[in-house]
Structure 1
Amino acid sequence: MRSNFLKATKTNTMKTFNLVILFFATLVMISCEKKSDQVTNPKDYNVFLEMKENKSLDFAKYEIDFWQKKFDAAPNQITYLSQIASNYSKLFEITGNINDLYKTEELLLKSNETFKYSQVGTIRSLGRNYISQHRFKEALVLANKALAIGEGMKETQKLLFDVNMELGNYTEAQKNLNALTDSKDFDYLIRISKWNDHLGDLKTAISFMEKAKEVAVKNDNKALKIWTFSNLGDLNGHAGNIKKSYDYYLKTLAVEPNNSYALKGIAWIAFSHEKNTNEAKRIIDAVSKKHNSPDFYLLKAEIAEYEKNTVDEKKNLSSYFKMLTNNNYGAMYNKYNTSIYADNKSTSSKALEIAKIEVEHRPTPDSYDLLAWAYYNLGDTKKALEIAQKYVENKSFEPELNYHLAMIYKANNLEDKVKPIKKELQSSLYELGPIFEQKINNL
């Protein structure tokens, strides 16, 4: 009897022991899984959030003061205006102050008018300024004006490629790209990278951007290193290489410690990949003190939506629109405004108005998607489908556009067309953000 009891006790003890082992093994597995999801480490980037000095900002201000004094002493030296304009453009990149962008335009207009639009370099500079302002058709006029003069043709072809891509003139853009084809030229490499990204070939886009990075590093060019590192951060994120994306953002910050774009990229990783909303908000709050842009309010509103914090969501959207009211951003935020207005039935008609303007100014698949989405939210699903099939379907690989497409298909009972898009969207959740997870599951 005692022997049987001991056997039973031993058996039960072994079962308990095995259960304990299994329990701890499960905990270790969960811990490892969580650890593998963790990419960011505040120790890597806290120093950049806490920085007080900004050498790039100080240098741009110094250069403006230097060239302004030279111009004041010799007002006939119009070329000085381009130097001043260039540094105001840098100020805009650093601070996000829209007035610096308009000051750049003012100086370049004065310079071009004095030269009677005969200097291709100054014409192209104004064209680039118009691209930043989303005045793409005006930029195209200037690019063609530079082309007609005939000097610096390669540089003008680069500008034409950039403008035509923004306008959705993809056949023309490809011709502009074919006019370059120098595999060692940095500007060609970043543009063929962009072209392949447009075609949906992300792997090739990354490979060309890597080659551009090699050129930047070899020449030890600070501006080009910042450009390639930050773009590789973006491209790798879209490809699902989150750790690589994070490392490239850190590389960007090592070159330019105050780079707001890279810090915003890290905030997105914390939010979208790690679901660490508190850390994402901490980063955004620190960055927005240095770089004042409406984008940050939109990101905070998106985080609040994910947290189901309607008070904070409304508060951030209100701050976003207040900033647009207090500053003239022109058409720069039309895309975001259309999306916000379209999602609310009381403002859907306003979304339609803006979408029509966007299509007129910039007839790209993105603009037509906004138009189709506005009609969808107004309940005109047939009109939405007509526009989407003609101007959006198979013309873009942007996840949000494809989500809209799937919703429009679903509303028109085209379930067979929804399934493949749903599968593709599930692999694009990082790029779309956590608030889309349930939306995609409901497709």
Structure 2
Amino acid sequence: MKSIITNSVLAFTAFLMLSCNGKSGLIIAQKDYNPYLEIKDNKSKDFAQNEIYFWQKKYDAAPNQISYLSLLASNYSKLFENTGDVKYLYKTEELLLKSNEAYKYSNVGTIRSLARNYISQHRFREALALANKALSIGEGMKETQKLLFDVNMELGNYKEAEQNLTFINDKTDFDYLIRISKWNDHLGDLKTAISFMEKAKDIAIANENKSLKIWTYSNLGDLNGHAGNIETSYHYYLKTLAVEPNNSYALKGIAWIAFSYEKDTKEAIRIIDTISKRHHTPDFYLFKAQIADYQKNTALKNENLKHYFAMLNTINYGAMYNKYNTLIYAEDKKTASKALAIAMIEIQHRPTPDSYDLLAWAYYNMGDTKKALAIAQHYVAGKSFEPKINYHLATIYKANHLKAKIAPIKEELLKSIFELGPNFENKIVIL
């Protein structure tokens, strides 16, 4: 009798916690962000295109001026950020390869630029090779250490990343502050991560640097959302848009608040449909599939997933969507073996707890709960604070009847409903 009463109390407590994490008053208001949805022009995009036209003419007239290639590459990279069109990312790579070949891979600046392009393409091992090449040349060591930190974090080389961070230690340096913020986020210390990002923001404001303001405001939107500071998150997304009215990332953040916090699916879809017209990427279909799943509209969910895969089949995104594909395939036992194959590739690309989580999750969905547990315990448990990873971990524990290990994870997951999304509410309660 006691266990029944205890379970009832726990279930009721969980319900209360979910209610607190759920809708407790409207935060977003159309009047705040509608002006950014209604914008017809795109000044940042137009500026980049004009710069490309200018420097291309200069390069055509003087093809011996190698520096023009880097200027062209920089503006194609800005077009990619602005539109999400991956052809601009590949054009950037083409120009940087040409530039590096002309310099015979002796210019650390262009080597680092190519490495950053490879990071965007999720070609992390190639990026690391280039970063080490720049390091061996010996010029601009601090900038190269920053690059090495970024690559090592992507690859799960956390000891090396910490050493890179020690090398660039300077609390007055914007680049150091955003990286120490990322490091603390990795450690699960969101309060400290936000604190360092706030300091970076102050530097961006003091220097009146538009791109750095956009970077810090949008990241503070994310970090505060993860910390449960939803209203603060919303205001930082608005601050991002005030600086860059076409910033689709901030608008997507607002759409997530509409969906995950306010449960306003209609408004979330309205925002997504508007921004996807000017920043068309596959992940918007995934967002809409999540919403359809929440609405229990299986047909609409499958339709959005169909559009997602059609886009991937039409456009070559390389390994950029491997994680999402693994999670989608793992949902269905008929395609779980596909999830396993992609997870194996991801581990080769980046042997992080995140990648091993995909592998464990694939095995779990194939019915091999023992193998899933062995992988999760060795490579995932205690190595990540990502809510979705820890939800997978708790689910695998449950399948292996390790109830004692679930309780502390469940407590943290209940605090992360906003980040996970409302589709996880019931799943967490029944863990």
TM-score higher than 0.5: yes
Match of 1:229 in 2: 217
Residues of 1 paired with 2:425 and 2:132: CA distance?
Answer: 45
Residues of 1 paired with 2:357 and 2:151: CA distance?
Answer: 20
Match of 1:135 in 2: 123
Residues of 2 paired with 1:100 and 1:35: CA distance?
Answer: 40
Match of residue 261, structure 2, among 264, 273, 276: 273
**1:344 paired to 2:332:** yes
TM-aligned CA deviation for residue 442 of structure 1: 1.2
Q: Check the 8 A contact 1:334/1:354 in 2, yes or no.
A: yes
What is the percentage of aligned positions where both structures have the same residue?
74
Residues of 2 paired with 1:119 and 1:424: CA distance?
Answer: 47
- The CA deviation string for residues 392-430 of structure 1, in whole angstroms up to 9 with x for no partner, is 000000000000000100011100001111111011000
| TM-score computed with the length of structure 2 as normaliser | 0.95
**1:59 paired to 2:53:** no
TM-aligned CA deviation for residue 35 of structure 1: 8.7
Where does the alignment leave 5 or more consecutive residues of structure 2 unmatched? Answer: 1-20
Residues of 1 paired with 2:85 and 2:348: CA distance?
Answer: 27
Q: Check the 8 A contact 1:355/1:371 in 2, yes or no.
A: yes
Q: Check the 8 A contact 1:373/1:404 in 2, yes or no.
A: yes
Amino acid at match of 2:137: I
Match of 1:432 in 2: 420
**1:178 paired to 2:166:** yes
Match of 1:411 in 2: 399
**1:326 paired to 2:314:** yes
Match of 1:155 in 2: 143
TM-aligned CA deviation for residue 240 of structure 1: 0.4
- Supply the RMSD in Å over aligned alpha carbons: 1.0
- The CA deviation string for residues 241-283 of structure 1, in whole angstroms up to 9 with x for no partner, is 0000000000000000000000000000000000000000000
Match of residue 109, structure 2, among 121, 132, 135: 121
| TM-score computed with the length of structure 1 as normaliser | 0.92
Residues 21-36 of structure 1 mapped to structure 2, 5 A cutoff = 36=24
**1:368 paired to 2:319:** no
Residues of 2 paired with 1:140 and 1:302: CA distance?
Answer: 34
Residues of 1 paired with 2:24 and 2:384: CA distance?
Answer: 32
Residues 27-426 of structure 1 mapped to structure 2, 5 A cutoff = 36-426=24-414
Residues of 2 paired with 1:266 and 1:152: CA distance?
Answer: 39
Where does the alignment leave 5 or more consecutive residues of structure 1 unmatched? Answer: 1-32
Amino acid at match of 1:370: L
Residues of 1 paired with 2:226 and 2:348: CA distance?
Answer: 29
Amino acid at match of 2:352: T
Runs of 4+ residues over 6 Å off in structure 1: none
Q: Check the 8 A contact 2:347/2:355 in 1, yes or no.
A: yes
TM-aligned CA deviation for residue 310 of structure 1: 1.1
TM-aligned CA deviation for residue 34 of structure 1: 10
Give the SS at the match of 2:422: coil
Amino acid at match of 1:279: E
Match of 2:4 in 1: none
Q: Check the 8 A contact 1:147/1:156 in 2, yes or no.
A: yes
* Aligned length in residues: 411
Residues of 2 paired with 1:322 and 1:207: CA distance?
Answer: 42
Give the SS at the match of 1:342: helix
Of structures 1 and 2, the one scoring higher in RCO (CA 8 A, sep 6+) is 2
Amino acid at match of 1:403: Y
